[in-house]
Amino acid sequence: MSPHNPQTVVLVTGCSSGGIGHALAVAFADKNCHVIATARSLSSMSDLDHDHRFFLQELDVLSGESVFKVVMNCLEQFGHVDIVVNNAGVQCLGPLAELPLSAIQKTFDTNVFGSMRLIQAVVPHMAARKKGKIVNIGSVSALAPGPWSGAYSASKAAIHALTDTLRYELHPFGIDVICIVPGAVKSNIANSAMANYSQMPEWKLYKQYKEAIKNRANMSQGPRAASAEEFAKRTVEEVLKKNPPAWFSMGQYSTIMAILYHLPLFIKDYIIRKMMRV
Ligand SMILES: NC(=O)c1ccc[n+]([C@@H]2O[C@H](COP(=O)([O-])OP(=O)(O)OC[C@H]3O[C@@H](n4cnc5c(N)ncnc54)[C@H](OP(=O)(O)O)[C@@H]3O)[C@@H](O)[C@H]2O)c1
């Protein structure tokens, strides 16, 4: 591969099959991009193997060493990275008063610091070329945080805020920063949330809410959730624009959550309490 390949080079984190990252990787490849598809384990994206459009790399966003190594491998392979998509993320279920702090920390370490690790690793290279796009995946859950997913919503609110600041700070270096805000989109998020949930201690004050807490895992995976493919196709169209938008939201609940965000708090509280029975 020539180090001066004219094709757009895109790095996506969390590309395990069945998730949004995988669908984004395929959608970028369908638009003629070279895609560095990354996941914690190569086996989770084995269907992309042998397709010359993908350069597969193992990347754990919790490890600075792993992030650095993958960025170096990409630069060696392609000479540059045009677009980075911080997609890797984990849900975290449980009442904030009883969630082990280690679970909250891991959520932030993955969703927030994981993104920052990769951003800090690629920005010097993008800034040197005065060109690049950083795409952070937020969530509508940060627009109207409800019960049982407080750690997750807070981590996504942090991503939204960091994205806004980065947009200003990276503007002088020609780097666009885009916040992609999914509503409910079909993926593996509920399964991985339940796998993490099974490690949680027995709730003390919240015994009676046990079922409600577990049900929160599936809230984004109902029959009206957008398909990951449809979501990815629209997202990629937006990201590849010459002047990409600062914010793009799509998927079930994206409109209602945007409305809730703008409502006075007492109305928002009333609606969320009714919906979530708290
Ligand atoms: N689906 C929705 O309705 C929805 C709504 C709002 C926002 N989002 C956001 O969209 C993004 C993608 O989620 P998804 O719905 O596609 O869920 P998903 O199917 O569970 O995918 C999450 C991806 O992140 C990866 N990941 C987790 N920890 C990682 C780590 N330490 N290093 C690298 N990769 C890691 C997972 O890898 P493994 O397979 O190895 O676990 C998986 O590939 C997340 O940021 C999520 O918060 C999703």
Whether 130 is catalytic is no
- From the candidates 31, 106, 131, 152, give the one annotated as an active-site residue: 152
The predicted pLDDT at position 89 comes to: 98
The predicted pLDDT at position 155 comes to: 99
The CATH number covering residue 190 comes to 3.40.50.720
Q: Which one, of 155, 141, 148, 146, lies nearest residue 93 by Cα?
A: 148
The predicted pLDDT at position 2 comes to: 41
The predicted pLDDT at position 3 comes to: 44
Atom of ligand 1 nearest to the CA of 15: 43
Q: Which two tokens stand for residue 183?
A: 């509503």
Position 119 in a domain = yes
Position 3 in a domain = no
Domain count, the chain: 1
Position 4 in a domain = no
- The string over 99-128, giving b where at least 16 C-beta atoms fall within 10 Å of a residue's C-beta and e elsewhere, is beeebbebbbbbbbbbbbbbbebbbebbee
The predicted pLDDT at position 5 comes to: 44
DSSP reduced 3-state for 255: helix
Nearest residue by C-alpha to atom 42 in ligand 1: 14
Position 2 in a domain = no
Nearest residue by C-alpha to atom 34 in ligand 1: 14
Is 89 near ligand 1, meaning CB less than 6 Å away? yes
User: Best of 36, 40, 235 to mutate for ligand 1, by most ligand atoms within 8 A of CB?
Assistant: 40
The predicted pLDDT at position 117 comes to: 98
Position 116 in a domain = yes
Please measure the distance between the N-terminal and C-terminal CA atoms of the chain and give it in whole angstroms: 57
Scan for tokens 């269907």, then name that residue. Answer: 47
**Which segments in the chain show pLDDT lower than 50?**
1-5
Position 254 in a domain = yes
Q: How many CA atoms lie within 13 A of 163 on its CB side?
A: 29
Position 1 in a domain = no
Nearest residue by C-alpha to atom 43 in ligand 1: 14
User: Which residues have C-beta within 8 Å of that of residue 253, sequence separation ≥ 6?
Assistant: 140, 183, 184, 220
State the residue range of the domain holding 23. Answer: 9-276
Neighbours of 188 (CB within 10 A): 18
